Amino acid sequence: MHIPDGYLSPATCAAMFAGAMPFWYVAIQRLKKVLNARLVPRIALLSALSFVIMMFNIPLPGGTTGHAVGMGILTVLLGPWASMLAISIALAIQALFFGDGGITCFGANCFNMAVVGSFVAYGVYRLISGNASLASPRRIVAAALGGYIAINVAALFASIEFGLQPMLFHTSDGAALYAPYPLSISIPAMMIGHLTFAGLAELVISGSLVAYVQKTDMDLLRVTAPSAADRDHEVIEGAAVNLQPLWLLLAVLMVLSPLGLLAAGNAWGEWSSEDFKNPEVRKQIAAASHNVAPPENIPSTFEKLSQVWTAPMPDYAPAFVRSPRLGYILSSIFGSGLILLFCFFVSWLTGFGLRMRRRGTA
């Protein structure tokens, strides 16, 4: 994933530098703000460790080996901003001292591996680990998956940068000036290797090192989990479960719900009695059923049962809403709201039961 000089155009390199620059700036400002002498050698040593991790051929199932970057473990131990600096420094030493990874492509390499890698690893780690205790096995899974997904997203970014080159920079007769493969080749070529080998290497390293830290010095995990308890049975008073990412995910899914409109026709087997009467839809049903035509006469019970309950919002849209997109979003809000109300009611009932029991024992 270390892009050498000559693979990306100077314009792309400049854009990637510009993309990485604000992140570096904020990271340095944050480092200066919280600068304690302890952090400087820690970043330096973990940066050196990231370099050594890159040197290892991690044995993988099937007799192959892969190289990890260490973005998972560095993010867990340092947080995303300091991890971003540490990986950038390891990449700078590789480029300036060992000639590995281009000097002009330094911005792109840092953007992919240090910036994107660290933030994706952090997001996945926090999302999966939630408020689990520091000793929880969930943290191992979270770090492993964080590393795996981070290296793959970083590789995806690199492959997009490669794939854009022949589209944007070519001679008048079509010869590519930089990386010669279009997105249709560059993405699968990069991703196959990373989804399998390099991703697994990162997964193994991130998971096993977090497991090791849990056994030796658990407090190191507190940097990215400040409110977590040490052990599962300990409960920190006032530490609320952070549900913000889940609420955000729910909101995004609600907004995306009109995507269902993109699907043409009905799902197989979800036909209404009206559909069987419509000649156009009958043709579609036959085509989707290996050219077996639906029965001419609809069974009487089918029609009767379909009239037992009339939905207040048929076809995911209240009758007064004209726009199907708005209807989808309103339906998703209404549906999710009903489910949440039901959950709150059940939790209130169980809480009520517990309170009554405590009062009884007191």
Interacting span for another protein (CB under 8 A) from 131-139, 179-187, 232-240, 318-326: 179-187
- State the nearest-atom distance from the C-beta of 212 to another protein, in Å: 4
- Cβ neighbour number for residue 54 with a 10 Å cutoff: 19
Task: Rule CB under 8 A: say whether 179 interacts with another protein.
Answer: yes
> Considering beta carbons, is residue 37 or 263 the nearer one to another protein?
37
Task: Rule CB under 8 A: say whether 53 interacts with another protein.
Answer: yes
> Considering beta carbons, is residue 169 or 334 the nearer one to another protein?
169
Those residues with Cβ within 8 angstroms of residue 13's Cβ, 6 or more apart along the chain or in another chain: 104, 105, 107, 108
| The only residue of 19, 123, 193, 335 in contact with another protein, by rule CB under 8 A | 193
Task: Rule CB under 8 A: say whether 7 interacts with another protein.
Answer: yes
Residue 294 near residue 287 (C-beta atoms within 8 A)? no
Hey, what's the torsion of the CAs at 182, 184, 190, 196, to 10 degrees?
-170
d(CA 224, CA 77): 7
Footprint of another protein on residues 66-105 (CB under 8 A)? 66-67, 73, 85, 89-90, 92-93, 95-99, 102-104
| DSSP at 60 | E
- State the nearest-atom distance from the C-beta of 231 to another protein, in Å: 21
> Considering beta carbons, is residue 27 or 120 the nearer one to another protein?
27
Rg (CA), the chain: 27
One-letter amino acid of 167: M
Footprint of another protein on residues 294-353 (CB under 8 A)? none
Residues in contact with another protein, counted by CB under 8 A, come to a total of: 83
Write out the two tokens for 138: 């969930």
| The only residue of 157, 178, 271, 276 in contact with another protein, by rule CB under 8 A | 178
| The only residue of 18, 21, 65, 243 in contact with another protein, by rule CB under 8 A | 65
Interacting span for another protein (CB under 8 A) from 64-72, 120-128, 310-318, 327-335: 64-72
d(CA 146, CA 212): 17
- State the nearest-atom distance from the C-beta of 168 to another protein, in Å: 13
Footprint of another protein on residues 215-234 (CB under 8 A)? 216-217, 220
Task: Rule CB under 8 A: say whether 41 interacts with another protein.
Answer: yes
> Considering beta carbons, is residue 85 or 329 the nearer one to another protein?
85
Residue 81 near residue 119 (C-beta atoms within 8 A)? no
d(CA 5, CA 84): 22
Those residues with Cβ within 8 angstroms of residue 158's Cβ, 6 or more apart along the chain or in another chain: 1, 3, 108, 112, 190
- State the nearest-atom distance from the C-beta of 348 to another protein, in Å: 47
Q: Measure Cα distances from 57 to 50, 71, 223 in Å.
A: 13, 16, 29
Task: Rule CB under 8 A: say whether 35 interacts with another protein.
Answer: yes
Task: Rule CB under 8 A: say whether 145 interacts with another protein.
Answer: no
Widest Cα–Cα separation across the chain: 88
